[in-house]
């Protein structure tokens, strides 16, 4: 199984940004931790960008390259209809992930425009959410 872990704006600052919400680990440390948890034949690719178009390009290019996408779109979750349309335009199954519980935070964070075009949404499990998403993709595929 080939899985793209796609991470959006400001996730490059994990480990130093609002650690009381997002934790002390960097995205690289989370990726390394996850790779150690994998018990089945899985190849992971991690990509992070602060630019919406770069994420859309990755989603559009996923067809045939990846069996699934784990997407943490960050704040784009709440308003990016372009990312939503990209997910909807490909057959690559996508799971939406958030480190924090978006439903217990500010009002604007409670809405996801991506949720309805993803297989599922995982919110509030920290780095464990990435692992749960990987397992859900494995079961789906």
Determine the angle formed by the axes of helices 81-89 and 52-61, rounding to 10 degrees.
Answer: 10
H or E stretch covering 78: none
- Active-site residue (options: 51, 66, 98, 130): 98
Residue 78 catalytic?
Answer: no
Instruction: Indicate the pairing of strand 2-7 with strand 68-72.
Output: parallel
- Active-site residue (options: 22, 66, 79, 103): 22
Q: How far apart are CA 85 and CA 114, in angstroms?
A: 9
Q: How far apart are CA 85 and CA 88, in angstroms?
A: 5
Residue 22 catalytic?
Answer: yes
Catalytic residues: 22, 98
């Amino acid at each position: 199984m080939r899985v793209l872990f796609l991470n959006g704006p400001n996730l490059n600052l994990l480990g130093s940004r609002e650690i009381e919400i997002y934790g002390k680990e960097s995205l690289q440390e989370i990726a390394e931790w996850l790779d150690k948890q994998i018990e089945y034949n899985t190849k992971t690719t991690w990509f992070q960008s602060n630019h919406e178009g770069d994420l859309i390009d990755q989603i559009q290019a996923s067809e045939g390259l990846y069996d699934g996408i784990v997407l943490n779109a960050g704040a784009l979750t709440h308003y990016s209809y372009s990312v939503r349309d990209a997910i909807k335009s490909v057959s690559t199954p996508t799971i939406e992930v958030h480190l924090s519980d978006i439903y217990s935070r500010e009002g604007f964070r409670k809405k996801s425009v991506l949720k309805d075009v993803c297989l599922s949404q995982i919110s509030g499990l920290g780095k464990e959410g990435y692992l749960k998403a990987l397992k859900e993709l494995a079961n789906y595929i």
